[in-house]
Amino acid sequence: MSTVVEDIKRPIAGEMKLFEQKFYESMKSSVPLLDKVTRFIVTTKGKQMRPMFVFLCAKLVGEVTEKTFRGASMIELIHTATLVHDDVVDESYKRRNFFSINALWKNKIAVLVGDYLLAKSVLLSTDNKEYDLLSVISRTIREMSEGELLQLEKARKLDITEEVYYEIIRQKTATLIAACCEVGVLSTSTDAALAEKMKDFGTYTGMAFQIKDDLFDYLSSNVIGKPVGIDIKEQKMTLPLIYSLREASEKDRKYHFQTIKRYNTKSSRVKELINFVKESGGLTYAVEVMESYQQKAKALLNEFPDSEAKTSLHQMLDYVIERKF
């Protein structure tokens, strides 16, 4: 896995190294507790795919600038803030095999740290009078919140249609990747149409990314380290399940609906539901939809002249749907 990511990073390796330092600087505070938490965040960082999108999209249309670094920091601040808040909402005590912030410092501090990171992301743009970036990140924060709330609202009734599912994942996941691509272009170009095109590229990529995530719920847990059926236990209606229930007979639909509603923690029923989804073509259908989003993104990318950045973005698209976790 790491070799694939290293290959993708090659055209921006220098920028990513410098970014780590700038990202840490962007989080700094005079409050010792905050400084301790932000140091912990830096040492437990993930693959940093989102900043990679920012730098690659900037290089696709121009040169990386100081504004690009600020844009990447803003995106990573938002992403980190949402992960911190998500762990509180989900009562999750592990994140990337480390303890989560709420596990180490409790919910109150975790929520306030998330708020601080969001404020820092906004200040990065206003302090530098980069109101185009401010507009993008404000919209992104709003959409991510709406997506989470829409999912929570629908989870209560379990009445998610395919269209609502796409809207949820567009807002929850794709909107941040779209923002990465849009910010990357805006940091080096004044061409609004170009920024819009790359925003669409990011949306399609993000949709494929989330569908792949949802497919993991039906795959062997020893490959990915995520227990099978976790979405079902949490009553999350994802694309393979929505499709399978829609295509099922009335009798099967009622039976499996009861599993989600009442027996979502009974492992034998969950296993039965997973087999039903596999046998009724739910996974095949989700893979087809995921690949159609990938192809839409590739078609947009192919409109650009060949470059190292373009090659890396193509590799990123392949990685999004071929990754094992």
Provide long-range contacts, Cβ within 8 A and 24+ apart, for 94-97.
95/44, 96/44, 96/46
Phi, psi (degrees; rounded to nearest 5) at 159: -110, 45
Q: Are 94 and 103 in contact (CB under 8 A)?
A: yes
Assessment of whether the complete model's pTM goes beyond 0.75: yes
Q: Which residues contact 291 (CB under 8 A, 6 or more apart)?
A: 208, 321
Measure the CA–CA gap between 285 and 325, rounded to whole angstroms.
Answer: 20
Q: Could you tell me the residue ranges of all domains in the chain? A: 2-212+291-322
Locate 290 and state its tokens: 């995921």
pLDDT in single tens digits along all 325 residues of the chain: 467 888 898 989 999 889 988 888 887 877 777 777 777 777 666 678 899 999 999 999 999 999 999 999 999 889 888 887 677 766 665 665 666 676 667 778 878 888 888 898 999 999 999 999 999 999 999 999 999 888 888 877 777 889 999 999 999 999 999 999 999 999 999 899 999 999 999 999 999 999 998 998 887 654 444 557 778 887 788 999 999 999 988 898 888 888 888 888 888 888 889 999 999 999 999 999 999 999 999 999 999 999 999 999 999 999 988 877 6
Write out the CATH class of domain 2-212+291-322: mainly alpha
State how far the Cα of 56 lies from the Cα of 63, in Å rounded to an integer: 10
Do 48 and 16 touch, CB atoms closer than 8 A?
A: yes
